Amino acid sequence: MVRSVRRRVEAAASAPARRFGRRTPVQVPTAPLEPALEDIPMASLRLPITGFGNLTSADARRITETIAASAAQWTPPTVCFTGGAALEFPGDRSVWARLDGDLDALSEIARGVPHSVERLGFFVDRRVFRPMLSIATVTNATIAADLETVVTALDAFRGQDWIVDSIVLTTEAFVAGRSETQVLERIPVG
């Protein structure tokens, strides 16, 4: 959907050229389609709950075990994408797909993860979770019409229902000089 929001960069049109006393039409090339937004690759889409910062291996193991014990008690929510938004918060550069469905059960998970690790002495920011998924970011070429187009398209869209059946613990690692998200553990819900 985000990739469909493209703009043509129009080259300046010039008058037909005169060659040997006749007018010869000049083909004015049109620049290739330029992305108005930078879409986030499917493999990089995340619905963040909270962050733990740098952990020792032992602490990561304790957190994983504690979340797994709590997650076994939670009901896996069924959600879908419906609606959109853009630039929702100060400093935000995202285009968002809103979630709908069993948001109470999803919020229970989002509250439950920080609550479960508090017993271990980890206090994390509970405000990270929002029932929205960042699907694209603005670029230097983005204009208001681009955002209006994609948000209107998202507002008309209702995705397929899917079950949130796991919590994924990730870490950031540097691979070939770039930051890359790696999965540490996938914890089943329910």
- HEC-encoded secondary structure of 13-73: CCCCEEECCEEECCCCCCCCCEECEEECCHHHCCCCCCCCCCCCHHHHHHHHHHHHHHHCC
Q: For the chain, what is the radius of gyration of the CA atoms? A: 23
- Under a CB-based contact definition with an 8 Å cutoff, are residues 129 and 115 in contact? no
Count up the domains in the chain and report the number. Answer: 1
Interval 17-32 mean pLDDT? 57
pLDDT score of 172: 83
Q: Is residue 18 part of a domain?
A: no
The model's pTM: 0.75
Q: Which domain holds residue 127?
A: 38-188
Q: Report whether pLDDT(112) > 50.
A: yes
Token pair, residue 136, equals 């694209």
Residue 29 covered by a domain: no
The answer to whether residue 151 sits within a structural domain is yes
Return the pLDDT at 28.
58
Helices (H) and strands (E) in the chain, counts: 3, 11
Residue 30 resides in a domain: no
User: Any idea what the CATH number is for the domain that residue 177 is in?
Assistant: 3.90.1140.10
115-163 pLDDT tens trace = 999 989 988 877 778 999 999 999 988 999 999 999 999 999 999 999 9
43 falls within a domain = yes
175 assigned to some structural domain: yes
C-alpha 46/C-alpha 134 separation (Å) is: 8
Angle among Cα 52, 85, 149 to the nearest 5 degrees reads 140
pLDDT tens digit sequence for 51-69 = 888 889 999 999 999 999 9
Query: When comparing pLDDT for 17 and 183, which is higher?
Result: 183
Query: For residue 65, how many other CB atoms are within 10 A of its CB?
Result: 13
Residue 152 lies in a domain: yes
**Residue 153 belongs to some domain of the structure:** yes
